[in-house]
Chains A and B, each alone.
Chain A
Amino acid sequence: AQTVTQSQPEMSVQEAETVTLSCTYDTSENNYYLFWYKQPPSRQMILVIRQEAYKQQNATENRFSVNFQKAAKSFSLKISDSQLGDTAMYFCAFMVFNTGTASKLTFGTGTRLQVTL
């Protein structure tokens, strides 16, 4: 079974600063996806970024980037130039790569990020 751990329940960052959210996972699988989801107060789940385990290059989406350390089973999210709209709960998630349909998404417990003026 896979587990995902987010050890920072809450974080705060000032606008325009950079913040890094931590995530570690445990798996015996070799091919998998890792994700960061954002959940703003509206409750909607929004995919921020994904990383395929077979790719050595860290994924980047605009101000969001990851530091993927496969050997250490670590997957942190860096948010640069933080904006007030980044205030949200952030979930790290894991899914085994499977060409079929049965792969399930396993979530961490989340980190609540507050961006302040």
Chain B
Amino acid sequence: NAGVTQTPEFQVLKTGQSMTLQCAQDMNHEYMSWYRQDPGMGLRLIHYSVGAGITDQGEVPNGYNVSRSTTEDFPLRLLSAAPSQTSVYFCATRLAGGYEQYFGPGTRLTVT
């Protein structure tokens, strides 16, 4: 049981490049979400999903796309990276109606 996994652990991009941050879970959790963590700002919700085929925007969705084709996977796509997207990204999951969020180890992204 791997829990919540994220790849890559670190990534450096040039402005304008695209990439996908991967998140996978093996706990059969319905709810999955993406947060970004910036100094002095805590964690802010980017997008979330309440099940396969259902996604919605969080607090800071601009510049990011998501999809949820399976229960297990919830990738986060940056279509054209900008320096403002330099951050640490966390994926989190939980059961429907549950309270405890399970966090992945995070991805540190730097956009130059």
Q: A residues near B, CB below 8 A?
A: 4, 9, 33, 43-45, 47, 50, 91, 95, 97-102, 104-110
Interface majority SS (helix, strand, loop, mixed), chain A = loop
Task: Using CB atoms, name the residue of chain A closest to B32.
Answer: A101
Q: B residues near A, CB below 8 A?
A: 30-31, 33, 35, 40-45, 48, 50-51, 56, 58, 88, 90, 92, 96-97, 99-101, 103, 105-106
Excluding A47-B100, A107-B35, A109-B42, 19 further A-B contacts by CB distance (< 8 Å) are A33-B99, A44-B106, A45-B90, A45-B101, A45-B103, A47-B101, A50-B99, A91-B43, A95-B99, A99-B97, A100-B96, A101-B30, A102-B48, A102-B56, A104-B33, A104-B48, A104-B58, A107-B42, A108-B42
Q: Complex: how many Å from CA A50 to CA B33?
A: 20
Task: Using CB atoms, name the residue of chain A closest to B9.
Answer: A43
Within 8 Å CB of B88, what residues of A? 43
